[in-house]
């Protein structure tokens, strides 16, 4: 499918921002107007009409005397985005309102009431089992529309991943309306769009870390996003690849420094580091927002973390890991990896980005036609 990340990116960014600011869905706003201005209903058309297959509302409203326009509102949609990643498969359900300015996510509090559903990585799962597991979950959630998007785990497998996705597309046709593997470039752009509503409307970059791939995206507006991806430098890939170097992170006092240096040597020669260096304007600082579920615990609301601070945490965890603390053992390598990654992409500090790129996918017209 040909991506339209130009004008559509502007629309996605705008609707995500509006969704964060909204205090009520279009349904609530419009029924309120209907009560307050019921005498003016005759000014509006007798029915709602559109060619969009999802437009089913039949509500008529009139705005106050100062405005002459009328529009129909829709009940919220339930959009289900299935993130088929390398470490697992997440089912994320978003409540989306369609109003006069397009699709928008309903307020965050409403989203928090909806629990994500997770299962194993589809790229490594038997297709019949995937059909059963996903089919049961989708039926229980009963969304308006479902899309399944494969990421780094499928991209890494090349033609084998493509064949597996085609097989899943056939088996899941009763439950899922769209099944595809998205490029790393697209994943990075979606991560940027998902993060934009939380920024201060200044140029910024995003760094999304997955088990297999890492995406870096930067831009001034949603119309000029530049994105690069590397499917060979994810945290799980390097953890397996480095073997003995990972074990050395758990031994002597200076192990964190040596471990970070070993990981850094691998990352600084990567495609990600080479391509990222060409994206950033010379001498201009842009805040970097990081996306990675395992990193959420490091952040406090509104706080920025320096690379030096992260290295300090890593040294402590590596030291604690020698006492047999399993959490510290896992954290030791993770912090060495993160510190080396930030150095490789020339980043001195990070902020917390969006919880997931799927927030942007949930209101994107490439996946949900009712958002056009």
What pTM was estimated for this model as a whole? 0.81
How confident is the model over 117-150, as pLDDT tens digits?
Answer: 578 899 999 999 999 999 999 999 999 999 999 9
Q: What is the CA radius of gyration of the chain?
A: 23
Residue 160 pLDDT greater than 70, yes or no: yes
Please give the helix or strand (H or E) that residue 288 lies within, else none: strand 288-291
What ranges make up the beta strands (E) of 141-187? 145-150, 178-181
Per-residue confidence (pLDDT) for residue 297, from 0 to 100: 77
221 compared with 69, residue with greater pLDDT: 221
> pLDDT category, 113, cuts 50, 70, 90?
very low
- Place domain 77-185+357-371 in its CATH homologous superfamily: ATPase, nucleotide binding domain (3.30.420.40)
> pLDDT category, 41, cuts 50, 70, 90?
very low
Residues of the chain with CATH 3.30.420.150: 205-352
DSSP conformation letters of 16-65? HHHHHH-SS-HHHHHHHHHHHTGGGGGGS-SS---S-TT----------T
Tokens, residue 8: 């559509």
Residue 31 pLDDT greater than 80, yes or no: no
Strongest mean pLDDT among 19-28, 53-62, 262-271, 272-281: 262-271
Residues of the chain with CATH 3.30.420.40: 77-185+357-371
Q: Indicate the class that CATH gives domain 205-352.
A: alpha beta
How confident is the model over 313-333, as pLDDT tens digits?
Answer: 988 888 887 776 777 777 888
Per-residue confidence (pLDDT) for residue 72, from 0 to 100: 55
Per-residue confidence (pLDDT) for residue 67, from 0 to 100: 43
Residue 165 pLDDT greater than 80, yes or no: yes
């Amino acid at each position: 499918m040909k991506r339209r990340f130009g004008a559509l990116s502007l629309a996605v960014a705008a609707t995500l921002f509006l969704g964060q600011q909204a205090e009520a869905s279009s349904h609530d706003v419009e029924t309120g107007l209907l009560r307050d201005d019921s005498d003016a209903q005759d000014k509006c058309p007798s029915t709602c009409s559109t060619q969009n297959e999802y437009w089913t509302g039949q509500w008529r409203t009139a705005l106050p005397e100062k405005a002459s326009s009328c529009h129909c509102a829709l009940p919220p949609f339930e959009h289900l985005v299935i993130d088929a990643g390398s470490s697992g498969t997440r089912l994320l359900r978003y409540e989306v309102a369609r109003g006069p300015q397009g699709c928008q996510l309903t307020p965050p509090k409403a989203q928090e009431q909806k629990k994500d559903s997770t299962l194993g990585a589809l790229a490594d799962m038997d297709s019949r089992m995937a059909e059963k597991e996903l089919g049961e979950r989708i039926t229980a959630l009963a969304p308006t529309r479902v899309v399944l998007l494969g990421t780094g785990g499928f991209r890494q497998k090349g033609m084998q991943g493509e064949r597996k996705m085609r097989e899943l597309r056939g088996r899941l046709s009763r439950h899922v309306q769209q099944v595809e593997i998205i490029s790393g470039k697209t994943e990075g752009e979606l991560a940027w769009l998902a993060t934009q509503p939380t920024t201060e409307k200044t140029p910024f970059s995003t760094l999304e870390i997955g088990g297999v791939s890492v995406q870096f995206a930067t831009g001034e507006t949603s119309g000029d996003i530049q994105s690069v991806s590397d499917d060979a430098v994810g945290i799980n890939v390097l953890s397996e690849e480095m073997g003995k170097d990972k074990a050395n992170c758990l031994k002597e006092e200076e192990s964190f420094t040596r471990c970070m240096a070993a990981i850094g040597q691998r990352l600084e020669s990567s495609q990600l580091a080479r391509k990222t260096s060409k994206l950033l304007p010379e001498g201009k600082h842009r805040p970097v927002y990081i996306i990675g579920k395992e990193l959420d615990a490091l952040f406090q609301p509104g706080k920025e973390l320096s690379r030096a601070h992260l290295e300090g945490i890593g040294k402590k965890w590596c030291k604690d890991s020698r006492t047999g603390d399993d959490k510290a053992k896992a954290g030791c390598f993770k912090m060495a990896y993160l510190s080396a990654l930030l150095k490789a992409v020339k980043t001195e500090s990070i902020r917390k980005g969006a919880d997931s790129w799927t927030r942007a996918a949930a209101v994107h017209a490439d996946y949900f036609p009712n958002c056009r």
